[in-house]
Structure 1
C-alpha cells in the first residue's frame, strides 16, 4: 500500500531531516515482564497499519509505504535513577529521527528501577494526536498485564475521500472554490518571508502537577461558575502571558479539537494526526476571571459547533502545492497567539493491574520546530491535573516560561480562594 500524507500529516512531518516527535510517559510501580512488553508491542503493531509503514520522502511529496519487512517496535532499556529521568530522556527522544531502514514509526524507552519504572512511548507527530497516543498507552498496559488478549486490526484509509460520508459530494462549485483558495494561498505565501532552516535545538519543557485536593477544588469551582477547567486554564495563561510579557502578549490561544467527534470513520482507537483548531481571544473588557472563563467556554462551544470538518478535510487537499511554504512560514512567523493549549482531559486508562500499577502519567511533551513553539498540554489522571509547558529558548526564555507558569497558578489560586501552593 502507498498513501500520500494528507495535508495535516505533511505539516507535522515537516521534512525528512526534521524530527517532530511526541513522547508520552507513564510511571509504573511493580514488576513488568520484558517478554510481555515485547508481545504487547507486537500485537499493537499488528493492529495499527501506520506502525507497519515507513515514510518515503525521497520525492516532492512524502508517502506512507506499507513495508512487509518492517522491524519490531524497538525497546531501549536504561537504568532509572530519579523521578526526573523521564524528562531528560524525553528531550533526547525529541530529536531522534525515524529514518533507519525498516524501522517502524514508534519506539519505547524503558527506564528500569528496582521497584519503579518509566515507560516512554515515542512517535512522530505526523501519525498521532493526543487521543492516539493515549489509546496506544492504554493498549500497551492492558497487553502487558494480559498478553493473551487480542486486538482487532483495521484497514488504513487510502485518501481523504475514505473519511468522508457517502452523502458528501464535492460539487463543481466546491472544486472551483478549492482551486481559487489554493491559488490565493500560493499568492499569500509568495509575499511572506519563509525559512527552511532548522532552529537551534534549544527546546525545553516545564513540568508540574496540581495536588489531588486542589484539582478537585478547581473542578468544583468551575462547575459552580458554569464553565470548564479548560476555559479557566486558558484564561489563567493568557492573563499570565500579559502580565509577564506586557505588550508582546496577544491575548489569544489556539486549541486543537479531537477530529473524532466529527468524523465517524476515525474511531477512538484509530491512529490519526490531523486536528482542526479553534482560536480563542481573551475578553479584555471584562475584569472578572470567571466571567472571562464563561465567555471563553461559550466562544469555544460556538466555534466547535460551527466547524465543517468534512469541508475542511476536503478543501485542505487543494493546498499541497503550498505546504512547504506553510512549513517555512511556521518556522519564520512569531504568530498572533500566546500558546497552543491542548487539554487531554480525564485520561481514560486503568490504574491497577495484576503485577503493577500506574502511579502517574505525565502529559505528552513535544519540541515543535516552529518559531512560536509555545505549547501547553494538560491532562488529569488519578485525580491530579498535570501540565507540560514547552517552547524554544530563542522564542520564549525558559526563565520567562517559569514566570508565566507561576503567575498562571497564582491566578487560579486567587480565583478559587483555597488552592494551595503548587
Structure 2
C-alpha cells in the first residue's frame, strides 16, 4: 500500500517530529491476556493497511503512507501498573507529548494500565491517520476480536486518494476544477501576504479536566433539548460560550469551532474507513437573548451552515493548495487566536459493553492536542447513557483555574435547564 498524504493529512503530520496525537481511553472489568491483545492488534493491521504504515518521502519531498504488504510492524504495547482510577489521566497527558517515529511506523500504539479486576487501555493514534469516527470504529473492532479471536471484521476497502471520495462527475467538472484552482490560488496569496507573529505563543503546561454526568441528568438534558427543538450539541455550544464570556470577560472572543463528521456528507467514506479529513463551522452567541431563544437562533445558523458544507469542493480546493501548506501551517501556529474553543461532540457511542470475559465499564471521551495554535478543546460523547466530557487546554492559552471555572459555570447552566 502506498498513497500520497492529502493536504489535511500533511498539515496534521507536519515534518513528522512533533506529536499530534489522538488519545482514546476506556476502562474494562474482567480478564484479558496480553497474547490476545497482540493477536487482536495484528488482526486490525490485516484489515487496515494504514495501521501498518509509515510515512516516506519521494524525490520531490512529498510524503506518502507506505505499508509493506504482509510484512507487519508490531504495534507497541506499554504496560503500566494500575495504582488508582485516575492513572489513565496521567498516562493520557504523557502520551500527548510522545512523538511517533513516523518514518518507521506504525502510527498507532497502546498503553495498558493493568490492574486486578479493573484495567484501563489507551489507544494512541497519530491524528494524521484518522478522526474520531475512525478511532471509534477501530476500537469496536478491537473489542470484537478480544472477545472472539476468530471474529470476522472484514477487510477495509481503502481510500487511495481524492478520486475514491469525490464522484467522478464532480472531480472532472471543468467548472469545479476552475473554482478549486481559483480559490486555492486566492488562499495561497492571502496566506503569503498576511502578517503573522514571529514568536510562538508559549503553551506552558498542557492539562486535562474530565467529568461525567449521571444518567438521570444526561437523559433529562436530551429530553429538554428535544422538547425545545434544538440539538444537545447546540445547547452545549450556547452554554460553553456563556461560560467563557462569564469567566474570560475581556478575553472572550465569542467563537466556538465545531468539527463535523465528513461521513454525513460523503457516503463514499465508510464507517470503517481510516480517514482524517473533517469539516468545520463556527458559532457565536447573542448575549441579548435568553438561553433557548439564543439556542433557537444558533440552531438555525448551524442548519444553514451545515447545508452549505460541501466536502467535495473543500477537498478539491485543498488539494489545489499544497504549495500553500507551509504558509497555512505558519498562519495556524503563529497567528493570533480568535476562537475561544473547539467543541467536538462524538454523540452516542454505539459500542457493546458486555463481552464473554470482560465488560466495558466506560469509554472516556478522547483527547487530542497538537502544535497548530490554540489547544483549547472540549470533546464530549455518550456511552451507556452517560455524557462524558474531556476539556483540554494549555496554561499559555487558558489558565487552569479559568478552565475549572468555565467547566463549573457550563454545568451550572445545563443543570438549571
Q: TM-score, normalised by structure 2?
A: 0.94
1:261 aligns to what? 264
Aligned-pair CA distance for 1:134: 0.8
The offset of 1:194, in angstroms, is 5.5
2:149 is matched with 147
Equivalent runs, 1:171-190 vs 2, <5 Å: 171-190=173-192
Q: Are positions 1:27 and 2:27 aligned together?
A: yes
* CA distance 1:199–1:148, shift in 2 (3 Å): farther
Unpaired runs of 5+ residues, structure 1, are 417-422
CA distance in 2, matches of 1:46, 1:108: 17
Deviations 1:14-36 (A, max 9, x none): 32221100010111011112222
The residue aligned with 1:66 is 67
Contact 2:55/2:63 (CA < 8 Å) preserved in 1?
A: yes
1:208 to 206, 211, 215: 211
Residues in 2 aligned to 1:79 and 1:117: alpha-carbon distance in whole angstroms: 9
Aligned mates of 1:180, 1:35 — CA distance in 2: 54
Cα-to-partner distance string for 1:297-322 (whole Å, 9 max, x where unaligned): 22212211221211111111011111
Distance in 2 (alpha carbons) for counterparts of 1:41 and 1:324:
35
Aligned partners of 1:370, 1:210: CA distance in 2, in Å?
Answer: 31
Structure-1 residue corresponding to 2:240? 237
Aligned 8 A contact 2:201 2:396 in 1 = no
Instruction: Kindly indicate whether the alpha-carbon contact (under 8 Å) linking 1:196 and 1:328 is maintained by their aligned counterparts in 2.
Output: no
Q: Provide the secondary structure at the position in 2 that maps to 1:348.
A: coil
Q: How far 1:3 sits from its partner (Å)?
A: 1.6
- Cα drift, residue 101 of structure 1: 5.8
Query: How do 1:84-233 and structure 2 match up within 5 A?
Result: 84-99=86-101, 102-190=104-192, 191-193=194-196, 200=203, 202-233=205-236
Partner of 2:8, secondary structure, is helix
Task: Answer yes or no: is 1:272 the counterpart of 2:286.
Answer: no
- What is residue 304 of structure 2 aligned with on the other side? 302
Q: Distance in 1 between matches of 2:197 and 2:106?
A: 31
SS for the counterpart of 1:303 is helix
Partners of 2:17 and 2:100 within 8 A in 1: no
- Give per-residue Cα distances to partners, 1:168-201, cap 9 Å, x unaligned: 2443343333333233222212222166969556
> C-alpha displacement at 1:105, in angstroms?
1.1
Q: In 2, Cα distance between the equivalents of 1:397 and 1:406?
A: 15
- Taking the aligned partners of 2:195 and 2:99, their CA distance within structure 1 comes to 29
The one of 376, 379, 385 equivalent to 1:377 is: 379
Contact 1:195 1:328 in 2 (8 A): no
Residue 341 of structure 1 is matched in structure 2 by 343
- Structure 1 residues 175-184 or 35-44, which shifts more? 175-184
Measured after TM superposition, the shift of residue 74 of structure 1 is 1.5
CA deviations on 1:281-300 (whole Å, 9 max, x unpaired) are: 213341x1112122222221
8 A Cα contact 1:195 1:329, kept in partner? no
Q: Please say if residues 55 and 102 of structure 2, whose CA atoms lie closer than 8 Å, have aligned partners that are also in contact.
A: no
Per-residue Cα deviation, 1:382-412 (whole angstroms, up to 9, x for no partner): 1111101111111111111111111111111
Per the normalisation by structure 1, the TM-score is 0.93
CA contact (8 A) 2:211 2:390 kept: yes
Q: Root-mean-square deviation (CA), in Å? A: 1.8
Quick one: distance in 2 between partners of 1:39 and 1:153? Answer: 16
Residues 173 and 224 (structure 1), Cα distance of their counterparts in 2 relative to 1, 3 Å cut? closer
Deviation sequence 1:35-82 (CA, Å, 0-9, x none)? 221111111111112112101258633221123444121211110111
Cα 1:234–1:405 change in 2 (3 A) is: same
Q: Matched residues in 1 for 2:26 and 2:34: separation?
A: 16
Count of residues in Structure 1 that have an aligned counterpart in Structure 2: 414
- 1:9 Cα deviation (Å)? 1.1
Which consecutive unaligned segments of at least 5 residues does structure 2 have?
none
